[in-house]
Structure 1
Amino acid sequence: MLGAFKHIFTLPELRNKVLFTLGVLAIYRLGAHIPLPGIDPQALAEFFDAQSNPLLTFFDMFSGGALGRVTLFALGVIPYISASIVLQLMTAVVPTLEKLNKDPEGRKKITEYTRYATTGLAFVQGWGIGIGLEAMAAPSGAPIAMSGGFTFQLMTALSLAAGTTFLMWLGEQVTERGVGNGISLLIFAGIVAAIPGAIVQSYALLQSGEMSIFLALGLVFAALFMTAAIVFIERGQRKVPVAYAKRMVSGRVVGGKNTYIPLKVNTAGVIPVIFASSIIAFPLTFGEMLERTPTVDMFMELFAPGGWLYTGFFVAFIIFFCYFYTAIVFNTKDVAENLRKNGGYIPSIRPGAETSSYLDSVLSRLTFGGSIYLSAVSVSPTFLIKYLSVPFYFGGTALLIVVSVGMDTINQIEAHLLSRSYDGFLTNRSGGR
């Protein structure tokens, strides 16, 4: 493995990609500490210290702490994720967008629509945050917004929209010129940046006696177990055998080889969890904007993290997006058609429609197992907080994103190393994997 790290900086192309990615992540972390204009930082710190809102903690995790500090990147990439959800759903039901999605130039157009939608959504959310900041005050009574009114709201909306648009651009640059998926790496960086603070907080709780040593050790073992389980399942796959018939091409016999189609247990990756998290936040976000009445309080309680209604909808959205996103990234009809054109077939299965139906059946069963796994990992933090009184947001979604994005990034680096005949992180010339 040490040799693989050395080779990263030996290859100029890969070295430039890695350094570019690290540079972008450094810019992201710097922007997460640039405060919005017109905010009293002391009053803001007092206000958030007095809060114990799990939803706020969850989205503050996605923004790398920028939301809690109300900085330029407070919205993070959440508006981009929401816009992507809407466009992908519309692609599946709007014939015009579906046609565009099948053409490379058309996909560029859809990407352009997503950018516009992201900026517009970030502006609207930013305006809502501006209104909310005007109404907030620290426990001491000091207002968070030093000067309110239309000018403050407009400045807040423009600043947050600009921050999100810049993050979207940075993510696209990493995807194109760096290593890994840019948007996922930005979320990854925000979560990892919070780890030192969580360790310090845990130590302080141990020192004060608010957390027992047994609970702390239990959390460590739980984190290790969940990490091992995530790695095991993310690397799990079903190998569907494929045979190629021999045929004559330009006077030569080609084909006759056996191979397989690797179908992952979790084909959709971490995308369903991110999508579901964004959607499930809408009811609570909407409720926060309403005047507090007994009906609104009951609504907020029903959809509070840890409640059965919240958990039920969260799991349902994860399962839905698992199947939805898997259908987008793995089209069984196209795979079956490509096999037929190249003389390939699955033993005992007829080429064409029967092959597509068989692949769809296998993939559906795998996706169901993958969706249950994602749901179990994602809802675990809310149960730990509610039933074991864990005093901070632990594991689950954050751990899943960190491990999954980390594995995908390492796989990309390894593929680049192997393509240049170097040993990768998980391979060597003498022993293989």
Structure 2
Amino acid sequence: MKKFFTTLSNIWKIEDLRVRITNTFLFLLIYRVGSFVVLPGVDPTSLSTQKGKEGLMGLLNMFAGGSFSRESIFALGVMPYISASIVVQLLGIAVPYFTKLQKEGESGRNKLNQWTRYLTIAITALQAIGYVSSQVSPDAKLIAEPFFTILSVFVLTAGTLFVMWLGEKITDKGIGNGISLIIMVGIIAQLPFAVGSEFATRVNGTGGLFIFVVEIVALIAVVMFTILIVQGTRKIAVQYAKRIVGNKQYGGVRQYIPLKVNAAGVMPIIFAQALMFLPGMVSQFFPSAASSGILIALSDYTSWGHNLLFAILIIIFTYFYTAITVNPNQMADDMKKNGGFIPGVKPGKTTADFIDGVISRITLPGSIFLAIIAIMPAIATVLNVNSQFARFFGGTSLIILVGVVLDTLQQIESHLLMRHYDGLMKTGRIKGRTAIPTVAGTTPPEI
């Protein structure tokens, strides 16, 4: 405990770090206050306390920090920006123009960011129209149509762009990745209500306090398991040739390439989840097909069929996303240019094949573990855990939380070590970050 307070004191002594942390809290406070500002023309007294808290809407509401169900000006949050980032990154694989931009360094990244912003505006406007028509009750509208819809689309689009701007400011003047922190704060904001609801259910209903304590212990165990997956790496030894220039020796040292067990991060779950929402959409647009046994099974996120297909899709997408984000040929070429080689492996294509084989072997257990984490909320729901609390037992939300916290702590520790203070941990170093979609050249996207 003494070391903990000493570390906090050291953090406060570093002026740059102190200013960055203060800025981060202030920007996040602005976001949280804005999430309670209701859309103009909406009667706040008519808002339902349960609307938008189940299924897909519940997941979106969690990422938006409750703004979705409150019909706030920040109701759409940063999800349109995340969607635009994913689209731009996929275009970088399929379209030569975007591939070229990814290789042009800083200027290319600026152009990609500009394309992402334009696409964010278009996606937000479309989602805003759908949100107003499906989520805002006619009884809550104080302004006649179509003026209410037009006004709401402008406000929701401006709200998303403002949240995106806050995220960029946090990244520049704060600590950590701004977009990631905004998503994390939105998720954490739902945790106290979920825990309180589960506690009330257990104490006043079935199970009692003992079952509630067991659930908390299980949640801690799942979080620890998720940290292991996020931080897990396979190190490949690389030897660099020794060169003597004058009286100085260069190279001749052994370093390691850390290959992540889960190089794809949270993206496979996002892609698989998007596909798993299709059966429910088909049922809504084609009521005659809603009685199909297959559609009913796939629409129920607690059924065996749904979770089995969900797990298989996650494994497939993990291999797919790892293949497009980790390039063994480029790694082998860079290693060869810098005079490095893997002991016992010939440089060039043999090295690329060796790295590709290692990635393929470690991706299999990584994808299986990721699938287990993804279906944990469904398992918790089957075990009679409150649906809001069950979402924290795994899935996208938990991986984002763990990855963002580790990334932020890593940056704080870097500031401490750079100024010759002790880090946050006695042994080892905080490493690993969860992928969250941003446009950053050829590097894997960070949410």
Decide: shared fold, TM above 0.5.
yes
User: Residues 432 and 168 from structure 1, CA distance in 2 versus in 1: closer, same or farther, beyond 3 angstroms?
Assistant: closer
Residue equivalent to 1:213: 209
1:280 shift after superposition: 4.4
**Alpha-carbon distance in 2 for matches of 1:176, 1:283:** 41
Query: 1:335 aligned to 2:331?
Result: yes
Residue equivalent to 1:113: 115
Instruction: Tell me the SS of whatever aligns to 1:390.
Output: coil
Residue equivalent to 1:69: 70
Q: Which residue among 228, 231, 236 is the counterpart of 1:232?
A: 228
Q: Is the 8 A contact 1:319 1:368 kept in 2?
A: yes
User: Residues 165 and 286 from structure 1, CA distance in 2 versus in 1: closer, same or farther, beyond 3 angstroms?
Assistant: farther
Q: Once the two structures are superposed, what CA deviation does each residue of 1:205-245 show, in whole Å capped at 9, x if it has no partner?
A: 13421554343233112101111112223222111111122
1:304 shift after superposition: 4.0
Residue equivalent to 1:424: 423
1:85 shift after superposition: 1.5
Q: Is the 8 A contact 1:133 1:145 kept in 2?
A: no
Greater CA drift, 112-121 or 207-216: 207-216
**Alpha-carbon distance in 2 for matches of 1:156, 1:210:** 43
1:284 shift after superposition: 4.2
Residue equivalent to 2:411: 412
- Which runs of no fewer than 5 residues in structure 2 stay unpaired? 431-447
1:308 shift after superposition: 4.9
User: Residues 180 and 277 from structure 1, CA distance in 2 versus in 1: closer, same or farther, beyond 3 angstroms?
Assistant: farther
**Alpha-carbon distance in 2 for matches of 1:235, 1:47:** 37
1:203 shift after superposition: 2.6
Residue equivalent to 1:21: 24
Query: 1:294 aligned to 2:288?
Result: yes
User: Residues 432 and 384 from structure 1, CA distance in 2 versus in 1: closer, same or farther, beyond 3 angstroms?
Assistant: closer
User: Residues 374 and 108 from structure 1, CA distance in 2 versus in 1: closer, same or farther, beyond 3 angstroms?
Assistant: same
1:254 shift after superposition: 2.5
User: Residues 5 and 317 from structure 1, CA distance in 2 versus in 1: closer, same or farther, beyond 3 angstroms?
Assistant: farther
Residue 403 of structure 2 aligns with an amino acid whose one-letter code is S
1:286 shift after superposition: 7.3
1:324 shift after superposition: 4.4
**Alpha-carbon distance in 2 for matches of 1:327, 1:173:** 32
1:336 shift after superposition: 1.3
Query: 1:125 aligned to 2:127?
Result: yes
TM score, norm. by length of structure 1:
0.88
1:101 shift after superposition: 0.7
**Alpha-carbon distance in 2 for matches of 1:62, 1:92:** 27
Q: Is the 8 A contact 1:301 1:307 kept in 2?
A: yes
Residue equivalent to 1:57: 58
Aligned positions of 1:12-411 closer than 5 A: 12-45=15-48, 48=51, 53-104=54-105, 105-133=107-135, 136=137, 143-210=139-206, 212-250=208-246, 252-277=248-273, 280-281=276-277, 284=280, 290=285, 293-296=287-290, 298=292, 299=295, 302-308=298-304, 310-312=306-308, 314-327=310-323, 329-385=325-381, 387-393=382-388, 394=390, 395-397=393-395, 398-411=397-410
- Which runs of no fewer than 5 residues in structure 1 stay unpaired? 138-142
Instruction: Tell me the SS of whatever aligns to 1:266.
Output: coil
Q: Is the 8 A contact 2:283 2:289 kept in 1?
A: no
Q: Is the 8 A contact 1:36 1:72 kept in 2?
A: yes
Q: Once the two structures are superposed, what CA deviation does each residue of 1:283-334 show, in whole Å capped at 9, x if it has no partner?
A: 646765x4x7232465576334334564355435533443444345533222
**Alpha-carbon distance in 2 for matches of 1:164, 1:297:** 38
1:432 shift after superposition: 8.8
Q: What is the root-mean-square deviation in Å for CA atoms of aligned residues?
A: 2.6
User: Residues 274 and 334 from structure 1, CA distance in 2 versus in 1: closer, same or farther, beyond 3 angstroms?
Assistant: same
TM score, norm. by length of structure 2:
0.86
Residue 396 of structure 1 aligns with an amino acid whose one-letter code is G
**Alpha-carbon distance in 2 for matches of 1:174, 1:391:** 34
